[in-house]
Chains A and B, each alone.
Chain A
Amino acid sequence: MSGARRPSQRLRAALLAAPAYTVLAVLFVVPMLLLFVVSFWRVRNFALTPDMSLAAYVRVFDTYGDVLVSTMINGGLTALVCVGLGFLFAYAARFRAGRWGDALILVAIVTLFGGYLVKIYAWKAILSTDGFLNAILIASGLSAEPLDTLLYNRGAVIVALVHFLLPFAILPIYGQLRNVNDIQIEAAHDLGASGHQTLMRVIVPQCRTGLFAAFAISFLYAAGDYITPRFLGGGSGSMIGQFIAREFSTRFNWPAGAAMSFVLMAASLLVLGLVGALFVRRRPS
């Protein structure tokens, strides 16, 4: 009897899931496939020509190899800082703030309001030679004249990205920390574990998934960004997203832009795979 009902149940489940799969296919899978096909085409005088060429992929490594590496470094550093600061903030909210913990998280979310470009221009105002930070440095006597090294470099890009992405890193870590059982922490203390040992052997192992999620969200967003490096990056802060946007919008070189996008995606997945192996696959001892 139950065996006879299984096919109809499966059909019902499939029908229920169909709209979601359809949306995923139409909005994500099909465009990605089309873009993948285009990455093998050629372009001449602003016109696309169907082909089966690997030239666009070869060009990614020949022309943009250094920018790709720089992008991975910027994305990785941004994600590491986000995970570190995010963990500290989430830990304080979960274990130190008492009943104000949720309010702290709310404050973190509120910082998302105000928009992305506003944050970029805010950092421009803070880090420029006549900016807020230079004013403090001069007023406090730490610098005799304005420093022009605060802006238009890799550091400025990472600072602005961390400012924007930190709330996205805090949320998954905090979600995991909420699931850590207080009794286990007390038991660790009762058994003589130091604060550091409790943190590293009881708390952190239980929020590895949250840490990885925080890293992945921050890394993927940072590695794909092209606005922040354009406005704050200068020469050393350039990232591959800027050149992907340029290939698509300015040169109409869709094969190059598509190939660069897929290489960036593959490189990002590689980094996430390595980090995932470190964060997630190791079980708590």
Chain B
Amino acid sequence: MHRNHAKPRHGLDRRSFIATGTAAAAMLTLPRSAMGATQLSWIGWQGYDAPLKAGDFLKKNDIDLSTTYISSNEEIITKLQAGGAGQLDLISIYFGHIPILANAGLVEPIDEARVPGIEKIFPEFLDVDTIRKDGKLYAVPFTWGTLSMVYDPAAIAKPASWKDCLKDEYKGKVSITDDITGLISTWAPIVTGTKTPTRLTPAELKQTIDFLIKIKREHARTLSPNYGEATDLYARGEVVISAIGWDAQVAFAAEKDKELAFVRPQEGVMVFMDTLAIPSGAPNRDAAYKALAQAISAAGQTVMASDLTQAVVSSDAVPLVDEVNREVYQYGDFESLFQSARFNPFWPLQDDGEHASYDQIQEEYQRFLRA
């Protein structure tokens, strides 16, 4: 009798193979939590997960971080509306979208007692009405910055005005990025003279969009789908100045060995604030609160400042960030900073009969995209 016929050469008979396969399949289909680590589902901008990945936070808390990156804030709303609530644990979103989420019951109130360090957040950001409803806090400020003018210092002198990007010498070398709030907030004051660019009449909105179309057609190299793509254009030498930019592009470009700089032109820039919120029915709420605390901790905030050139929200982090960051964001004198860097309210969610609503803004912005 040949032993090889009695037993397969690889030493695994059919029954053992099925048993092993079934066990392996069962292991793969088990929830991660059953295998030890708690899975934390996080969604937000690429890079905003850096504070969670820094140090030994994930290991120490036995958290398996699952990240989804977005290309627009509205994607988060859509994802939550389309069944994402109950699956996601933590979202990072622009503060202006919080009322939409809170009114639709898609995010839950924050239990401030479970967020150590929240008292260290600058009141200029924590006390903003937009992130509160009926006295409850629905989102925790996480980071902020300015949508400044980004330029290539090796190619051009430091610009002083947004209108510098319209000079003939820069035709075809202007970077413009698909950012609805950034573009309209930056250019509406220049085009219409408004002081509050998120409160535009339909006529002012049309005037602003017409002007943006002119920039896109006559001055821009192309409309970049995101700031990462826009940074690539600088790295390849295709653009030298921007009609809208983001401070973090300087850090993105440094990774590509390209030196960029940003400036706040005399007409002012838009301040943005991104927040962290917990979706209703978050399956791993405890882990979400731990992550939230980590993100606003001095250590987490310092990572945001060093990795993304962003501003910190916690006073504890200020001594830890570098001198350049402190100088740019003027942490001790927000009153003075906010004179040139506008912290606008969000667009009206409902039609008030005078100002363009968020829906009208989006509809008109489509015209800019199609042009």
Listed in ascending order, the chain A residues whose CB lies under 8 Å from chain B are 44-47, 63-64, 66-67, 128-130, 148, 151-152, 230-231, 234-235, 238, 242-243, 246, 248-252
B225 contacts partner chain A, Cβ-Cβ < 8 Å: yes
Cβ of A64: which chain B residues have Cβ within 8 Å of it?
370
Contact with A along B204-226 (1 / 0, CB 8 A): 00000000000011000111010
Q: Report the nearest A residue to B217, measured CB to CB.
A: A235
Q: Are B77 and A46 in contact (CB under 8 A)?
A: yes
**A31 → chain B closest CB, angstroms:** 13
Q: Are B100 and A46 in contact (CB under 8 A)?
A: yes
How far, in angstroms, from A45 to B72 measured CA to CA in the complex? 17
Provide a sorted-by-A list of 25 A–B residue pairs whose CB atoms are within 8 angstroms. A45-B103, A46-B78, A46-B100, A63-B366, A66-B370, A128-B236, A129-B238, A130-B236, A130-B237, A151-B222, A152-B221, A152-B222, A230-B225, A231-B225, A234-B223, A235-B223, A242-B369, A243-B370, A246-B369, A248-B78, A249-B72, A250-B72, A250-B75, A251-B362, A252-B78
Task: Decide: A129 near B362, CB < 8 A? Known: A64-B370, A152-B222.
Answer: no
Cβ of B128: which chain A residues have Cβ within 8 Å of it?
none
Q: Are B104 and A235 in contact (CB under 8 A)?
A: no
Q: Are A46 and B81 in contact (CB under 8 A)?
A: yes
Cβ of A67: which chain B residues have Cβ within 8 Å of it?
370
Task: Decide: A148 near B172, CB < 8 A? Known: A130-B236, A250-B78.
Answer: yes
Task: Decide: A47 near B104, CB < 8 A? Known: A234-B222, A249-B74.
Answer: yes
B229 contacts partner chain A, Cβ-Cβ < 8 Å: yes
How far, in angstroms, from A275 to B221 measured CA to CA in the complex? 37
Cβ of B217: which chain A residues have Cβ within 8 Å of it?
235
How far, in angstroms, from A51 to B40 measured CA to CA in the complex? 38
B371 contacts partner chain A, Cβ-Cβ < 8 Å: yes
Contact with A along B57-77 (1 / 0, CB 8 A): 000000000000000101101
Q: Are A46 and B104 in contact (CB under 8 A)?
A: yes
Cβ of A128: which chain B residues have Cβ within 8 Å of it?
236, 238
Tell me the chain B residues, 335-357 only, with Cβ under 8 Å from chain A. 349-350
How far, in angstroms, from A234 to B237 measured CA to CA in the complex? 17
Q: How many residues of B contact A (CB 8 A)?
A: 29
Cβ of B103: which chain A residues have Cβ within 8 Å of it?
45
Nearest 5 pairs between A and B by C-beta? Answer: A152-B222, A250-B74, A234-B222, A252-B78, A250-B72
Cβ of B172: which chain A residues have Cβ within 8 Å of it?
148
Cβ of A46: which chain B residues have Cβ within 8 Å of it?
77-78, 81, 100, 104
Task: Decide: A252 near B225, CB < 8 A? Known: A63-B366, A148-B172.
Answer: no
Cβ of B223: which chain A residues have Cβ within 8 Å of it?
234-235
**B104 → chain A closest CB, angstroms:** 6
Cβ of A130: which chain B residues have Cβ within 8 Å of it?
236-238
Cβ of B238: which chain A residues have Cβ within 8 Å of it?
128-130, 148
Cβ of B237: which chain A residues have Cβ within 8 Å of it?
129-130
Q: Are A243 and B369 in contact (CB under 8 A)?
A: yes
Q: Report the nearest B residue to A47, measured CB to CB.
A: B104
Task: Decide: A45 near B370, CB < 8 A? Known: A128-B236, A250-B72.
Answer: no
How far, in angstroms, from A148 to B236 measured CA to CA in the complex? 12
Q: Report the nearest A residue to B224, measured CB to CB.
A: A231
Cβ of B349: which chain A residues have Cβ within 8 Å of it?
45
Q: Report the nearest A residue to B173, measured CB to CB.
A: A148
How far, in angstroms, from A147 to B159 measured CA to CA in the complex? 26
Cβ of A242: which chain B residues have Cβ within 8 Å of it?
369
How far, in angstroms, from A252 to B76 measured CA to CA in the complex? 10
Cβ of A235: which chain B residues have Cβ within 8 Å of it?
216-217, 222-223, 371
Q: Are A252 and B81 in contact (CB under 8 A)?
A: yes
**A124 → chain B closest CB, angstroms:** 8
**B107 → chain A closest CB, angstroms:** 13
Q: Are A148 and B221 in contact (CB under 8 A)?
A: yes
How far, in angstroms, from A64 to B363 measured CA to CA in the complex? 12
**B135 → chain A closest CB, angstroms:** 22
How far, in angstroms, from A235 to B212 measured CA to CA in the complex? 13
Q: What 12 additional pairs, Cβ within 8 angstroms, besides A238-B370, A252-B82?
A: A44-B359, A45-B350, A130-B237, A148-B172, A231-B225, A234-B222, A235-B216, A235-B371, A250-B72, A250-B75, A250-B362, A252-B77
